[in-house]
Structures are given as structure tokens and as C-alpha cells.
Amino acid sequence: MTLKEKATQHILEIYRDNYDDDKSDEEILAFDPNEYDVDPENFYEDVLYSFFGMGTDVDIQSGTVQELIDQVAAKWDGSDIDRDWMENAMPDDF
């Protein structure tokens, strides 16, 4: 499996964890989360900061999910990802 395929798999999973809808993979890839009424900041932060540990290496807060995957795959070194991303994303006093 290529890095892009792995990134795609993980980001689709994160999308489904963040949004309760029944979109197909193809619909998700073509979708811009900014089209929701709810601010998609948590989705982007979960993907870039908490899960892939990229910090400010990738600066995308708009565009389709496919565009996000392309940027992540181009910069991700394939190192282990944070499997406890959601727990780590939550503040200690939550």
C-alpha cells in the first residue's frame, strides 16, 4: 500500500468519525468540509495535528478532502501515526 493509499484510508476514517453522514468514499473525496454549516476546524486539526503529527507543515483549511489527502501524502514520511488521536486531541480538563 502506498503512502497516499494509507493517508486516504486514515483520512476517510477520520472524516466518518467527525461527520455523521452516509457519503460514499467518492463523495467524501470530492467534498469540501467548509460547505457544512459547522466549522470544520476539528476535522482539519484531527487530521493534520493530532493524527499525522504534521503541525504547521501542511497549511490547508479549505478545499476538497482529496486535496487534503494530496497534501498530507506529499509531506507525510509514513512514520507511525497516533492511534489515540481523538483522546490526545481532547483537553485534559474536558
**Which pLDDT tens digit goes with each residue over 8-26?**
998 998 889 888 778 999 9
pLDDT of residue 94: 37
Q: How confident is the model at residue 93 (pLDDT cuts 50, 70, 90)?
A: very low
Supply the pLDDT for residue 17.
85
Q: What is the mean pLDDT of residues 29-44?
A: 83
Per-residue pLDDT band for 27 (boundaries 50, 70, 90) equals: very high
Q: Taking the CA atoms of 54, 59, 63 and 69 in sequence, report the sign of the dihedral they define.
A: negative
Q: How far apart are CA 78 and CA 7, in angstroms?
A: 9
* 28, 15 Cβ separation under 8 angstroms: yes
So what's the pLDDT on residue 5?
93
Q: What's the pLDDT at 61?
A: 66
Residue with cell 485534559: 92
Helix 3-18 with 65-75: angle, nearest 10 deg: 140
Q: How many CA atoms lie within 13 A of 77 on its CB side?
A: 5
